[in-house]
């Protein structure tokens, strides 16, 4: 056997801590490989002592996941080693299906399934052979691993395009569903794969398996652990079961538990555990030797010189024969011939032989007991192979059992040396394979890192381009903002100018302006209002219009405000009399209208106050003059310059002419001037109308309604400023003037 390196206490303590904390037992793993993987993880976090790493695990439980990803080398892919899978497809899968009874499920076990590519590869092979529907009915695939995180990935069955590179386009199209940038394994087949966490070294194996796939797992286990695992794999398989190993695993080449089906690709079948090899020759019949017979002497001499210790036990259990090598090797003397076999030490040393002898008599077939340790002294130990064969009569009945003791001590030593050499070679191969696996993992990690870096570079480049775009947009936005700011500044200046202009207009207006909102709160108050009522704008802004205390009875505006506010009238005009801030009587004309927004909605109301005190005085004076002129006896005519039609006459004119006011409005001046027509009058008045003269005075004769004619002097003036223009005619009767002249 290969000498093992002495254990390191700190390393063993770390492994024990991992087992107690996470239930992961690494005691059966090869120390060199395990130590190398753990050291790799320690270097990644900057720890150089196993005790320090254990403290790190205790402080950061999340580190266990990183450790598992490093120690459990999940190097796998779909149909890894394509040639081996092709042999499995052509030779093993049809045979497994043929060996299985139609109503019995086909059971498959994938040990160390990692992220699920291996069990799904098996599922595709059997689905191709059976059809999907029959596969779902008959096949159960058990997939186990130590890594729970890998099992979670396997259950999702979602793989990247790179993961499915080894899957043929036909199988990819048939058994995978494309979603975005991933491939998802077919749902019905996925239901037939059962995932679970399992330690093949310590957990009970799954039984009645038709095909067991355990690829590149044994190379990480110690020789003693491999010796534990192989019988478990043997037990798990059915009598006609198959075992599929990895290309670097050579342990089964010399294992009596399995026979090779295809050694190159490591495919084996189970060897049933029963002893079938008889010795090369056997006595057809054996009579006890008779010394008087030459043949008996010859037979005895041959038995003594054969070099193999031989004992014969008859059907009564007595020793019937013992040759010289048996006497020398087993300590059976002449006195022991005829004694009961069970009384001899050889019956129980080197092992209990009475059971095998009974078995031979009962089953009528021989059996071999390999590698039995026979200790002559404390230091002298032999390795014996004991063959127990039945000696039969011609009728087939067994009448004796022949025990052959073959000394294989030298062969056993050579075998040990050979096994040691093979194990050393296998360990080297396994170490190399492990290193290759780690190298593949490292290459894949480097490739993944490279791809991530490329992706990161692309993302950075994309981000850079986006940043450049954002910078351009920002510059454009800044320019737009500057333009908007400039526009806002111009508009602000315009607004300020408009505001100053409006304030100037309001200040310049010979009237007051008060603006209120919908709630009748004062929002505007101009300079005229300040001067007239003695209240500054800051005193009234924000106060209620109804509460305003000025010299006008504002409560009289209530109805007008309501009419405008409710839309019954667009504008209301009202005149109120009151006192200004100096106590002077004042008459104000107040115009109430809505304050309209751009949309046309009312935002409040505007009150325009105008001092009409002088205007009222003028109107009163005008009305006074009108009353005087209307009552005067002198005739006063107002004529239309275009038609010379009467538009208005005073009472004196109506009395002298004898017509009513209505009649006169239907007549023209020439109608009361006999002998004159309208054209003559227009020619006479042309200089006056054109502005060449300011007045025209002429004498004529007027005729009243009763036909009476009287002389009169007409003084005519054209007032063009009136709208419409008017001819004012003042008539003086001159008959009295003539009488007065005659009196003189």
Within 10 angstroms of residue 321's Cβ, the number of other Cβ atoms is 20
Reported as a single tens digit per residue, the pLDDT across 475-489 is 888 888 888 888 888
pLDDT over threshold 60, residue 728: yes
Residue whose structure tokens are 């002898």? 357
Q: Which two tokens stand for residue 700?
A: 């004529």
| Sign, Cα dihedral of 126, 127, 131, 134 | positive
Residue 168 to residue 31: CA distance in whole angstroms: 39
Question: If residue 656 lies in a helix (H) or strand (E), which one and from where to where?
Answer: helix 651-657
Mean pLDDT of 336-359: 80
Residue 22 pLDDT level (bands cut at 50, 70, 90)? low
Tell me what the pLDDT averaged over the chain comes to.
81
Nearest to 197 by CA among 163, 136, 227, 154: 154
Check residue 37 and give its pLDDT: 73
Residue 170 contacts residue 101 (beta carbons within 8 Å): no
- The whole-number average pLDDT for the span 361-371 is 84
| Distance in angstroms (rounded) separating the CA atoms of residues 686 and 630 | 28
| Strand order through the sheet with 176-179 | 158-159, 182-185, 176-179
Provide the pLDDT confidence category of residue 94 given band limits of 50, 70 and 90.
very high
Q: Which two tokens stand for residue 314?
A: 């008859």
**What confidence tier does 215 reach under pLDDT thresholds 50, 70, 90?**
confident
Q: What is the pLDDT of residue 664?
A: 85
175 vs 500: which has the higher pLDDT:
175
Q: Return the structure tokens found at 296.
A: 């008996």
Rg (CA), the chain: 67
Contact between residue 558 and residue 544 where contact means Cβ atoms under 8 Å apart:
no
Least confident range of 19-23, 366-370, 407-411: 19-23
Which stretch of 120-134, 151-165, 241-255 has the lowest confidence by average pLDDT? 241-255
How far apart CA 557 and CA 574 sit, in angstroms, is: 8
Confidence of residue 75 (pLDDT cuts 50, 70, 90): low
Query: In this structure, what token pair is assigned to residue 98?
Result: 């043929």
Q: How far is CA 77 from CA 191, 437, 439, 590, 703, in A?
A: 20, 13, 16, 97, 136
The secondary structure element, H or E, covering residue 281 is none
pLDDT, greater one: 34 or 175: 175
pLDDT tens-digit readout, 575-611:
888 888 888 888 888 899 988 887 778 888 999 988 8
Beta bridge partners of 446: none
Any bridge partners for residue 237, and if so which? 209
End-to-end CA distance of the chain: 184
- Identify the pLDDT of residue 96: 92
How many C-beta atoms lie closer than 10 Å to residue 606's C-beta? 18
Task: Say if residue 119's pLDDT is above 90.
Answer: yes
SS3 call for 306: coil
Q: pLDDT band for 2, please (50, 70, 90 cuts).
A: very low
How much of the chain is helix, strand and coil, in % rounded to 5? 45, 25, 30
Q: Scanning the structure block, which residue is given the tokens 């490093």? A: 70
What's the pLDDT tens digit per position in 696-724? Answer: 988 888 888 888 888 988 899 888 887 78
- pLDDT for res 205: 87
Q: Beta strand 571-579 with 585-596: parallel, antiparallel or unpaired? A: antiparallel
3-state secondary structure 487-518: HHHHHHHHHHHHHHHHHHHHHHCCCEEEEEEC
Q: Best-predicted range by mean pLDDT among 134-138, 623-627, 675-679?
A: 134-138
Structure confidence at residue 533 as a pLDDT band (50, 70, 90): confident
- Residue 105, pLDDT > 60, answer yes
pTM: 0.41
Place 110 in a pLDDT band, splitting at 50, 70 and 90: very high
Rounded distance, CA 67 to CA 71, Å? Answer: 6
Tell me the two tokens of residue 629. 């002129």
**What pLDDT does 72 receive?**
61
All domains of the chain in start order, with CATH: 9-71 (1.10.155), 82-270 (3.40.50.150), 297-490 (3.30.450.20), 509-617 (3.30.450.20), 631-742 (3.30.450.20)
Residue 277: predicted pLDDT: 33
What is residue 28's predicted lDDT score, i.e. its pLDDT? 58
For residue 154, the tally of other CB atoms under 10 A from its CB is 26
**Residue 274 pLDDT:** 45
pLDDT at 21 over 80: no
Q: Which two tokens stand for residue 295?
A: 């043949």
Whole-number pLDDT of residue 213: 92
Q: Give me the pLDDT at residue 287, please.
A: 40
Cβ 552 vs Cβ 561: under 8 Å: no
106 pLDDT higher than 90: yes
Do 384 and 353 touch, CB atoms closer than 8 A?
no
Instruction: Return the pLDDT at 284.
Output: 31
Q: Which span out of 63-77, 198-212, 268-282, 492-506 was modeled with the highest average pLDDT?
A: 198-212
Q: Could you read off the pLDDT of 178-189 as tens digits, one per residue?
A: 888 899 999 999
What would the pLDDT profile of 413-429 be if each residue is shown by its tens digit?
887 788 777 777 777 77
E strands in 539-625? 571-579, 585-596, 602-611
- pLDDT of amino acid 678: 82
Mean pLDDT value across residues 135-155 = 89
């Amino acid at each position: 056997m290969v000498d093992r390196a002495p254990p390191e206490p700190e390393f063993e303590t770390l492994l024990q801590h991992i087992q107690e904390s996470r239930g992961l037992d690494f005691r059966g793993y090869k120390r060199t490989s395990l130590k190398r993987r753990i050291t790799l993880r320690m270097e990644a976090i900057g720890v150089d002592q196993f005790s320090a790493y254990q403290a790190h695990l205790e402080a950061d439980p999340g580190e266990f996941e990183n450790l598992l990803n490093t120690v459990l080398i999940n190097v796998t892919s779909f149909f890894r080693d394509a040639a081996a899978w092709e042999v499995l497809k052509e030779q093993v899968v049809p045979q497994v299906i043929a060996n299985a009874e139609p109503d019995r499920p086909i059971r498959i076990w994938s040990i160390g399934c990692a992220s699920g590519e291996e069990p799904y590869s098996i599922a595709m092979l059997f689905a191709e052979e059976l059809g999907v529907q029959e596969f779902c009915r008959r096949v159960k695939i058990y997939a186990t691993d130590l890594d729970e995180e890998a099992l979670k990935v396997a259950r999702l069955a979602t793989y990247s395009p790179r993961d499915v590179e080894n899957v043929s386009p036909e199988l990819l199209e048939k058994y995978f569903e494309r979603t975005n940038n991933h491939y998802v394994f077919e749902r019905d087949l996925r239901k037939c794969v059962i995932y679970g966490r399992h330690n093949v070294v310590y957990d009970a194996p799954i039984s009645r398996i038709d095909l067991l796939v355990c690829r590149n797992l044994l190379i990480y286990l110690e020789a003693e652990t491999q010796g534990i695992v192989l019988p478990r794999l043997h037990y798990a398989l059915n009598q006609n079961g198959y075992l599929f190993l990895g290309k670097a695993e050579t342990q089964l080449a010399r294992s009596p538990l399995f026979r090779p089906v295809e050694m190159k690709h490591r495919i084996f079948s189970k060897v049933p555990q029963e002893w079938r090899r008889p010795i090369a020759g056997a006595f057809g019949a054996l009579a006890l030797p008779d010394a008087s017979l030459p043949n008996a002497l010859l037979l005895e001499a041959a038995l003594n010189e054969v070099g193999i210790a031989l004992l014969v036990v008859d059907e009564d259990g007595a020793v019937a024969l013992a040759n010289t090598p048996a006497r020398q090797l087993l300590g059976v003397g002449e006195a022991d011939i005829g004694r009961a076999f069970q009384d001899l030490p050889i019956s129980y040393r080197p092992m209990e032989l009475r059971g095998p002898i009974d078995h031979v008599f009962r089953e009528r077939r021989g059996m071999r007991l390999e590698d039995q340790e026979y200790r002559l002294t404390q230091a002298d130990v032999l390795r014996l192979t004991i063959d127990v064969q039945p000696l039969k009569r011609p009728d087939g009945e067994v009448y004796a059992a022949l025990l052959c003791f073959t000394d294989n001590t030298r062969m056993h030593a050579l075998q040990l040396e050979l096994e040691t050499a093979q194990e050393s070679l296998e360990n080297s191969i396994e170490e190399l394979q492990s290193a290759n696996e780690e190298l593949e993992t490292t290459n894949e990690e480097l490739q993944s890192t490279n791809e991530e870096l490329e992706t990161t570079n692309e993302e950075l480049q994309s981000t850079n381009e986006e940043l450049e775009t954002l910078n351009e947009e920002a510059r454009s936005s800044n320019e737009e903002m500057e333009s908007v700011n400039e526009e806002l500044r111009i508009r602000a200046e315009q607004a300020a100018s408009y505001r100053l202009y409006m304030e100037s207009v309001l200040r310049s207006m010979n009237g007051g302006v008060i603006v209120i909102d919908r709630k009748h709160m004062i929002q505007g108050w101009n300079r005229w209002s300040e001067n007239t009522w003695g209240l500054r704008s800051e005193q009234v802004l924000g106060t209620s219009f109804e509460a305003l205390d000025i010299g006008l009875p504002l409560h009289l505006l209530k109805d007008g405000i309501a009419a405008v506010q409710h839309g019954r009238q667009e504008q209301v005009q009202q005149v109120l009399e009151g006192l200004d801030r100096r106590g002077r009587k004042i008459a104000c004309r107040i115009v109430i209208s809505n304050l309209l927004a751009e949309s046309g909605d009312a935002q409040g109301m505007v009150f325009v106050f105008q001092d009409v005190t002088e205007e009222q005085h003028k109107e009163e004076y005008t009305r006074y003059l009108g009353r005087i002129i209307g009552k005067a006896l002198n005739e006063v005519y107002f004529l239309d310059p275009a038609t010379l039609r009467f538009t208005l006459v005073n009472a004196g004119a109506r009395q002298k002419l004898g017509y009513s006011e209505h009649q006169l409005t239907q007549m023209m001046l020439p109608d009361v001037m006999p002998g004159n027509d309208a054209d003559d009058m227009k020619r006479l008045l042309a200089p006056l109308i054109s502005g060449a003269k300011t007045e025209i005075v002429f004498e004529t004769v007027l005729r009243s309604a009763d036909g009476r004619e009287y002389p009169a002097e007409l003084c005519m003036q054209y007032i063009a400023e009136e709208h419409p223009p008017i001819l004012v005619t003042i008539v003086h009767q001159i008959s009295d003037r003539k009488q007065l002249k005659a009196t003189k």
